[in-house]
């Protein structure tokens, strides 16, 4: 006899409910990751901007913004993957 999967509270769930929980977690995780990238970019720039020993010339700012764009592109990829997962789940 196989055991039914359980939710985060230890309550047994059906396979369909388990799939929904996995989808929910994928969406939540992608949103958390996107927010984390945003926060990290803001924190890095705030660190640069508030320290006198860091030169914020145009080249440095451009490099920082390029890094921020790359981080956000990764976050967008995560969000798109979550959307695709939701779309696939919706088709089933």
Tokens of 90: 């919706």
Helices and strands (H, E) in the chain, number of each type: 2, 0
Whole-angstrom CA distances from 22 to 18, 26, 45, 84, 90 are 6, 6, 35, 13, 13
Instruction: Flag whether the pTM goes above 0.85.
Output: no
Would you kindly state where each structural domain of the chain is located, as residue ranges? 34-91
Could you read off the pLDDT of 48-91 as tens digits, one per residue?
Answer: 888 888 778 888 889 888 988 988 898 888 889 888 988 887 77
Cβ atoms of residues 12 and 6 within 8 Å? yes
Closest CA to 28 of 88, 87, 85: 85
């Amino acid at each position: 006899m196989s055991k039914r999967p359980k939710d985060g509270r230890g309550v047994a769930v059906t396979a369909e409910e388990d799939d929904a929980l996995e989808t929910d977690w994928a969406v939540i995780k992608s949103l958390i990751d996107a927010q984390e990238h945003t926060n990290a970019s803001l924190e890095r720039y705030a660190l640069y901007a508030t320290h006198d020993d860091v030169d914020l010339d145009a080249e440095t700012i451009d490099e920082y913004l390029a890094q921020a764009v790359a981080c956000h592109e990764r976050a967008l990829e995560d969000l798109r993957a979550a959307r695709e997962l939701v779309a696939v789940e919706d088709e089933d």
